[in-house]
C-alpha cells in the first residue's frame, strides 16, 4: 500500500488508454492507439520510433496541446480532460516547456526577450523576470548575446535560447521534439549536455522525441513507439 502511494506521488504524467485519430477526408485514421504510460517526476526519457509512428502526436497530447479522442491524461494526479480550454492553457503555461527542432523563436525579439516571454505571460514582475532571464542565459552560456535577434545567432545558439525559454519558468515537464536535429555534432553534444545538466539541476522531467544516440545514451529510459503503440 505504501509503495502504491509513493508510486502515485512520483508519477508526474500518466496516460491511460489514450487514442487519437485524424480525419483523412473519407475516414478517421488511427494515429495513437490505446497508449498507457507513466512518466516519473525528474525522469529524462526518450521517445523513439520510425517516422510516422505518431511520436509528435503523442508529445502533443502529453504537452496538453491536443486532447485525446479517448483515454485519460493525468498531470500531477489531475485529470486534464476535465479542464476547460482556458484552464488547460494555464496549466500548460505554468507547468510545461517546449523545445522544437525548428526552435520556434520570435524573430523580432532579442535573445533576452524570447527567454523573458513565458515569464511575462505568467505575470512575473519585471525585476524578477530580469534576474531569472539573466541567470538562465548565464547557465546556457549566452549572457554575452542577450541583445541579438535569432537571425544573428547560429543554430546551436538558437537552440540554447529555446532551451532557456523552455526552462526559465522552471516547468515540471519539458517536451522536446527532435531538439538536436539539423545541428552539427559538436553543437548537438552541447545541447544534449545543457538539457541534461539543467534537468538534473532543476528536477525537471524531460520527454524527448529523438533519433540521436547521444541523447538516448543519457536518458533514464527509452520508450519505443511503432505504428501508434508503445512497444
Ligand atoms: N494534423 C494531422 N492531420 C492528419 N494526419 C496527421 C496529422 N498529424 C499527423 N498525422 C498523421 O498521423 C501519423 C503520425 O504522425 P506523427 O507526426 O505523429 O508521427 P511522427 O512519429 O512524429 O513522425 P516524424 O518522426 O516523421 O515526425 C502520420 O501518418 C501522419 O501523417
pLDDT in tens, 77-105: 999 999 999 999 999 989 999 988 777 89
Q: What are phi and psi of 64, to 5 degrees?
A: 65, 25
Query: How far does residue 134's CA lie from ligand 1's centre (Å)?
Result: 37
Q: At which residue does the C-alpha cell 502529453 appear?
A: 62
Write the pLDDT tens digit of every residue in 69-78. Answer: 999 999 999 9
Nearest CA residue ID for atom 4, ligand 1: 22
Reported as a pLDDT band with limits 50, 70 and 90, residue 192 is confident
Mutate which of 21, 29, 52 to test ligand 1's pocket (most atoms within 8 Å of Cβ)?
Answer: 52
Reported as a pLDDT band with limits 50, 70 and 90, residue 6 is low
Strands (DSSP E) contained in 26-165 are 28-40, 44-48, 70-75, 78-79, 96-100
**pTM as predicted:** 0.90
Q: Where are the domains of the chain?
A: 40-68+83-225
Nearest CA residue ID for atom 28, ligand 1: 52
Q: What is the pLDDT of residue 74?
A: 97
Mean pLDDT (the chain) is 90
Residue 125 has pLDDT above 80, yes or no: yes
Of residues 198 and 33, more confidently modeled: 33
Q: What is the pLDDT of residue 201?
A: 85
**% the chain with pLDDT above 70:** 96
- Are 131 and 143 in contact by the 8 Å Cβ rule? The answer is no
Of residues 100 and 12, more confidently modeled: 12
Distance CA 80, CA 123 (A): 23
Query: How far does residue 174's CA lie from ligand 1's centre (Å)?
Result: 20
Q: At which residue does the C-alpha cell 486534464 appear?
A: 80
Q: What is the pLDDT of residue 182?
A: 77
Residue 3 has pLDDT above 70, yes or no: no
Ligand 1 atom nearest residue 23's Cα: 4
Nearest CA residue ID for atom 14, ligand 1: 54
CA angle 169, 110, 166 (to 5 degrees): 25
| Closest to 218 (Cα-Cα) out of 188, 182, 192, 186 | 192
Query: Residues near ligand 1 with C-beta < 6 Å?
Result: 22, 31, 49, 51-57
Write the pLDDT tens digit of every residue in 148-190. Answer: 999 999 988 998 899 999 989 889 999 999 888 878 888 888 8
Fold (CATH) for 40-68+83-225: Rossmann fold (3.40.50)
ipTM for the whole complex: 0.96
Amino acid at each position: 500500500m505504501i509503495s502504491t502511494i509513493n508510486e502515485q506521488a512520483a508519477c508526474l504524467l500518466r496516460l491511460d488508454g489514450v487514442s487519437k485519430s485524424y480525419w483523412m477526408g473519407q475516414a478517421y485514421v488511427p494515429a495513437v492507439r490505446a497508449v498507457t504510460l507513466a512518466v516519473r517526476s525528474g525522469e529524462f526519457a526518450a521517445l523513439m520510433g520510425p517516422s510516422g509512428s505518431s511520436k509528435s502526436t503523442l508529445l502533443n497530447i502529453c504537452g496538453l496541446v491536443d486532447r485525446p479522442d479517448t483515454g485519460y491524461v493525468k498531470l500531477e494526479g489531475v485529470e486534464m480532460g476535465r479542464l476547460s480550454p482556458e484552464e488547460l492553457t494555464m496549466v500548460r503555461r505554468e507547468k510545461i516547456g517546449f523545445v522544437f527542432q525548428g526552435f520556434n523563436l520570435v524573430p523580432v525579439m532579442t535573445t533576452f526577450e524570447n527567454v523573458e516571454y513565458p515569464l511575462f505571460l505568467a505575470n512575473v514582475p519585471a525585476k524578477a523576470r530580469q534576474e531569472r532571464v539573466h541567470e538562465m542565459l548565464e547557465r546556457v552560456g549566452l549572457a554575452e548575446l542577450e541583445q541579438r535577434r535569432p537571425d544573428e545567432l547560429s543554430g546551436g545558439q538558437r537552440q540554447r535560447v529555446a532551451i532557456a525559454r523552455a526552462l526559465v519558468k522552471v516547468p515540471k515537464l519539458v517536451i522536446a521534439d527532435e531538439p538536436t536535429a539539423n545541428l552539427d555534432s559538436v553543437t548537438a553534444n552541447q545541447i544534449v549536455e545543457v538539457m541534461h545538466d539543467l534537468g538534473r539541476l532543476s528536477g525537471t522531467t524531460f520527454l524527448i522525441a529523438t533519433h540521436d544516440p547521444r541523447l538516448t545514451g543519457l536518458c533514464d529510459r527509452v520508450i519505443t513507439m511503432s505504428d501508434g503503440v508503445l512497444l
